[in-house]
Amino acid sequence: MKEIKTKRSSNPSSPLNPDAKCSSSVQSTPEIEKKYVHRVYDAIAPHFSATRFAKWPKVSAFLNTLPSGSVILDAGCGNGKYLGLNPNCFFIGCDISAPLIQICSDRGHEVLVADAVNLPYRSGYGDAAISIAVLHHLSTEHRRKKAIDELVRVVKKGGHVLITVWAVEQEDGSLVNKWTPLTRKYVEEWVGPGSPRVHSSSYVTLESIPETEVSVSSEEVKDFGNAIEHKEVEDCVVGTEIGDRNDKQQEYFVPWHLPYHRAEVSGASVGAVENGLARKDDQKGAIVYDRYYHVFGEGELER
C-alpha cells in the first residue's frame, strides 16, 4: 500500500480547480471502453457479481478505520460488495454499468449510474472515497488522471481516498501470459492521440507500504491487481505526474469466461458472438469476453 499526502498547489490552472472545465476529449467515452468495458460488464453482470464476494483485507481495514458517521463514496462500486461494510458509516455507490447498479439496488444499497470521470457529487461532499479496480479500465492518461481528480474533488479537506489498480508487475508471472497484449496499431487506433505520454508537474509524495495477507476467492485471484494508493486530502489535491513508459507493454485484453448456462439467462449475452462482442470456446464451454485493461507500471501513479 502507498500513502499519498497532498497539499494545495499555487498553480491556478490546476486540473483539480473546481472551476476548471473538463475537455470534451476527456468526457467523451472512447469506443474501446464502450465495447470492451461497458458492454462487457453489462453482459456478464450476474456472473461477475456471483464471483465478487470476498473483501480485500486492506480495503476492509481502510473502511473500518473511518470515523462513525462518515460519508463514503464508492466510485465504480460493481456489485456493491464494499457498500455497508462499516455499519457506522453512510455509503453511496456509483458505477457505469446499469445491470450492476440494479444488483446493488436490489440489495438495498444507495446507488446510481455514473461515470468515474464525471462524478455526480458536489465538491467536498464525502468524508472518504474509494476506487477499487476501476482506473485500469480507462484507456487514456487524461481520463485516468481526471478520475483521480474527481475522487479528490468530491472529498472534503482532511478526507481520504483509497485507490487500487492492476499492476504489470505481478507476483505470478504466468498470469500476464494469459492476457492478450494490444498491438501498437490497435493501441494507436483505439487509444489514439488522447493518451499523450507527457510529463506534468509533480504535486504529491508517496510512502510505499507493502501489501500483504490478501485473501480473495479463486475467481478474484485471476483479477487481482496489487497496486494500492491511499490519499489523504490535506487541502486540495492537484494530480500526479505520468512519465514516458514506452518500454513496457501496458495495454491488454483480459478474458472473462461466461459459462454457457450463465449466458443463456443473461439477455445482454444474446447475439454477443454474432455482434463481435464475444467468442465461443467450446472446449471450456463458455462465451469469452475481452475486457480492456491498462496495467500500471511500478511508480506510475506517483511519478
Residue 14, C-alpha cell as written in the block: 490546476
Host domain of residue 64: 24-168
Q: Are residues 42 and 135 in the same domain?
A: yes
Shared domain check, 78 and 183 = no
Shared-domain flag, residues 113 and 184: no
Is position 230 within any domain?
no
Domain stops at, among 133, 168, 203: 168
Per-residue pLDDT at 300: 77
Do 84 and 145 sit in the same domain of this protein? yes
Residue 1's pLDDT is 36
Q: What is residue 171's predicted lDDT score, i.e. its pLDDT?
A: 61
Kindly state whether residues 61 and 148 are assigned to the same domain.
yes
Within 10 angstroms of residue 288's Cβ, the number of other Cβ atoms is 16
Residue 199 lies inside a defined structural domain of this protein: no
Evaluate whether residue 15 is within a structural domain.
no
Please indicate, yes or no, if residue 218 is contained in any of the structural domains.
no
Same domain? 164 vs 180: no
Q: Are residues 147 and 104 in the same domain?
A: yes
Residue 108: CB partners within 8 Å, gap ≥ 6? Answer: none
Domain-embedded: residue 226:
no
Q: Same domain, yes or no, for 137 and 257? A: no
Same domain, 179 and 58: no
Supply the pLDDT for residue 223.
46
Same-domain check for residues 86 and 107:
yes
List the one residue out of 91, 120, 96 whose CA is nearest residue 108.
91
User: Among 104, 137, 168, which residue terminates a domain?
Assistant: 168
Please calculate the CA angle 286-291-292 and round it to the nearest 5 degrees.
160
**Does residue 229 form part of some domain?**
no
Tell me: the pLDDT tens digits for 64-118? 999 999 999 999 999 999 999 999 999 999 999 999 999 999 999 999 999 999 9
pLDDT tens digits for 219-229? 443 443 444 45
Choose the final residue of a domain: 113, 133, 168. 168
Quick one: 147 and 255 in the same domain?
no
Torsion of CA 127, 167, 54, 38, to 10 degrees: 80
Could you tell me if 15 and 152 are in contact, meaning their C-beta atoms sit under 8 angstroms apart? no
Write down the pLDDT at residue 190. Answer: 59
CA atoms of 264 and 7, how far apart (whole Å): 52
Quickly tell me which residue has 493501441 as its cell: 187
- Check which CATH number belongs to the domain holding 99 and give it: 3.40.50.150
Would you say 159 and 153 are in contact if contact means Cβ atoms under 8 Å apart?
no
Three-state DSSP at 58 gives helix
Q: Is 46 helix (H, G, I), strand (E, B) or coil?
A: helix
List Cα–Cα distances, 41 to 38, 192, 291, in angstroms: 6, 23, 8
Whether residue 275 is contained in a domain is answered as yes
- Is 203 inside a domain boundary? no
C-alpha grid cell, residue 39: 458492454
Q: How many domains does the chain have?
A: 2
Co-location of 115 and 179 in the same domain: no
Q: What are the residue ranges in the chain where pLDDT is below 70?
A: 1-27, 169-173, 184-247, 263-270, 302-303
Residue 48 backbone phi and psi in degrees, to 5: -55, -45
